Structure 1
């Protein structure tokens, strides 16, 4: 039976769409994660705080939003490394007597892991390894975490993170998993043909870029390759779960799995990610297995934020969730039988390869509002009538009351989290380094 201080395994993938999970969409072959979902709790409406690697990861470490952490772009784009004095789940558990390990992709700075509370690092991948090269790097991450588990002496509980690069592009066919997929069976999403005529102008510019101006056959090939990449990282995660079972540690270990952000996968005619706010890149897979907590629901459709992941880990480890963990914890959602009356999540983006279009947004069960603070533009979707987000209602006087109400929600959240609009829209200082 689990102890009052269980071990914790945190598993993180990169650019993993919420739909890229067999338990959600049987077009994907992910037996390890499907088993974990059936043995734990699957959150089907989990949203990242920011659909880009480093800013989102700063939330997964601190429990704060990127505008609070200061990581508004990739960590190697100038002054955007995570401050080593930041609030951290690693330091919190280390101070509580946990042995802490980070293995794999980091993306938050060059020399700040130990100061943020990770006592040990193995196969530390500071800025990530993408494309086919990630196979060897991710394999090493799985090997190192499995070795750590096998060598674990049990003196103190462990908090181990296995952070994988897959399925981050460049896309490629992983032939070891091609048997599970048929190119001829790949279909494009229903919103692929969105002409973006009601959207901000830069959406159309992005769709017309070389990276997105692809034929349907090219988009389907990307979807096929992406599926094989997802299956590979699922197999690596399966190795870790099997090691926990073989060592007799599975029942004493809290397991949390999620991703930093999603992938467009041809939705709206777009590829990869970018400075947009569609669900395909904001929604991520999220599974929590807590052997010491009987969840009231096996599948939870509540809107939840990945900013709650660090607080979840802290609470699962038996520690109080300090107010510094702005995102709170997911465990209250597991204890209740129904969604909360005020169900909503917040998200943001600042700058990426595709330009500086800073936004902030809010999602409720029915509505999504996105405010582009620099572009003086926005998006409003009625997700009951338009789940594919194809018809932008922003600026329509018939929906002025909805817009005003959601804008007030954004203003309240922004103020409560010390948002500085002038700073958020200021031109970023970018100085790329390898």
Structure 2
């Protein structure tokens, strides 16, 4: 019997931020550009935690990292408190066929995919992330061809291609991108370096390499879009595309600035208006609730999310969803807990532990990082609180926390943060001790 519930395809990548063509960047991603024009684009979407596993787990559970237990990276010992709260588990319980292909970075082990709600792992035999990227599109093509419409399906397909590897075939540990096991040879002569990075030859080459990785990602997505059309499922399938956080460059990934928490978020399919670009503030915390509503599935009681399906279905709807979005960091490689609240105009950040230097291991190794380190970055002390007026300071360089003219704004945002922390039972502070199962690096190291 055919179902009237929509299928859902969730496509995601590592470390892509918003640095693709539909967001105005000079990165050739034609498949993503066509997708954007066929659906709805959110210009101001934000993750919940600007590191890989916490971001993904928060989006798929609708709960903040300090609530769901995913305080750090799964491959370094972090774990969800309750995998049954994952969106695929909720949809499977509602009758969906569920499958995963590629890297998710939430599960504790590929062999345990059933506990997280996935009936099938389509790329379980892949030896590693690089090989798994190469297998995703063919696995998705095969899966789609098998679906007969008797059950709606939820397909999770993830790519690692825009994540740094930390090594290359020639032994250079500062450069590589995860692209077909070979470092992209980008031409840095004609690229623009995004703020807040310095425009240096090293960084231009680094950005050029990223651009080629993004182009390879676009090629993978193009194959999946084509497969959807050939399978006949496209008209009944909601497709959502996003990433976990900002690109893997200094002062971006792993930080609570817009360059760290800002993410691409685009959707198309039934119930999604075409050619719409939204400026409303939305959060990854809202994604699971939105997809449940669009699938006709009850939003779980544990979800903190607020569905934004009205922004998708009605192009004329008021372009507003949230007054504030909240984000957090806890552990990447080192313990570095902090919280932020982002409004339409302001960004307030509070560190729960403050050091007299940057926590450099939490920034991925790269030539861009090495350039800043050589210029004195390790001597720059952290600030316990920061307030940025993003209307006049969009790259968040001027801290207004002690400016008398911003006292009322600071007090309001402190109050919002305190209320959010109380509501979500956020007790993280400087006395927190990581579980013995988590691998933690010293904060005074370089990498």
TM-score normalised by the chain length of structure 2: 0.82
Equivalent residue, structure 1, for 2:215: 231
Q: 2:231 aligns with which of 235, 241, 247?
A: 247
Instruction: Give the alignment's Cα RMSD to 1 decimal.
Output: 2.7
Aligned CA distance change for structure 1 residues 328 and 113 (closer, same or farther; 3 Å):
farther
What SS does the aligned partner of 1:76 have?
A: helix
Equivalent residue, structure 2, for 1:74: 73
Instruction: Write out aligned runs for 1:229-378 (5 A).
Output: 229-263=213-247, 265=249, 270=250, 273-274=253-254, 276-294=255-273, 298-334=276-312, 335=314, 337-340=317-320, 343-353=323-333, 355-375=334-354, 377-378=384-385
Aligned length: 395
Equivalent residue, structure 2, for 1:212: none
What SS does the aligned partner of 2:100 have?
A: strand
Residue 188 of structure 1, CA deviation: 2.1
> Separation in 2 of the partners of 1:8 and 1:85?
20
Equivalent residue, structure 1, for 2:435: 429
Equivalent residue, structure 2, for 1:161: 156
8 Å Cα contact 1:49/1:56 also seen in 2 = yes
Residue 427 of structure 1, CA deviation: 3.0
8 Å Cα contact 2:3/2:152 also seen in 1 = no
Aligned CA distance change for structure 1 residues 272 and 360 (closer, same or farther; 3 Å):
closer
Residue 173 of structure 1, CA deviation: 9.0
Residue 342 of structure 1, CA deviation: 5.4
Residue 126 of structure 1, CA deviation: 10
The answer as to 2:120 corresponding to 1:120 is: yes
Structure 1 unpaired stretches of 5+: 194-214
Aligned CA distance change for structure 1 residues 173 and 63 (closer, same or farther; 3 Å):
closer
CA offsets 1:81-139 (integer angstroms, 9 cap, x no match): 1234441211111111110001111222125421221111121499973xxxx2x3212
> Separation in 2 of the partners of 1:64 and 1:284?
18
CA offsets 1:336-376 (integer angstroms, 9 cap, x no match): 622338522110001222x3221110101100000002227
CA offsets 1:179-202 (integer angstroms, 9 cap, x no match): 9x7522112234335xxxxxxxxx
Ranked by relative contact order (alpha carbons within 8 Å, sequence separation 6 or more), the top structure is 1
Aligned CA distance change for structure 1 residues 227 and 378 (closer, same or farther; 3 Å):
same
Equivalent residue, structure 2, for 1:209: none
Equivalent residue, structure 2, for 1:416: 423
Equivalent residue, structure 2, for 1:16: 16
Equivalent residue, structure 1, for 2:63: 64
Equivalent residue, structure 1, for 2:168: none
Equivalent residue, structure 2, for 1:197: none
Residue 153 of structure 1, CA deviation: 2.3
Structure 2 unpaired stretches of 5+: 166-175, 355-382, 440-447
Aligned CA distance change for structure 1 residues 367 and 26 (closer, same or farther; 3 Å):
closer
Equivalent residue, structure 2, for 1:142: 137
> Separation in 1 of the partners of 2:100 and 2:127?
14
Aligned CA distance change for structure 1 residues 50 and 26 (closer, same or farther; 3 Å):
closer
8 Å Cα contact 1:186/1:224 also seen in 2 = yes
Aligned CA distance change for structure 1 residues 247 and 363 (closer, same or farther; 3 Å):
same
TM-score normalised by the chain length of structure 1: 0.84
Residue 154 of structure 1, CA deviation: 2.0
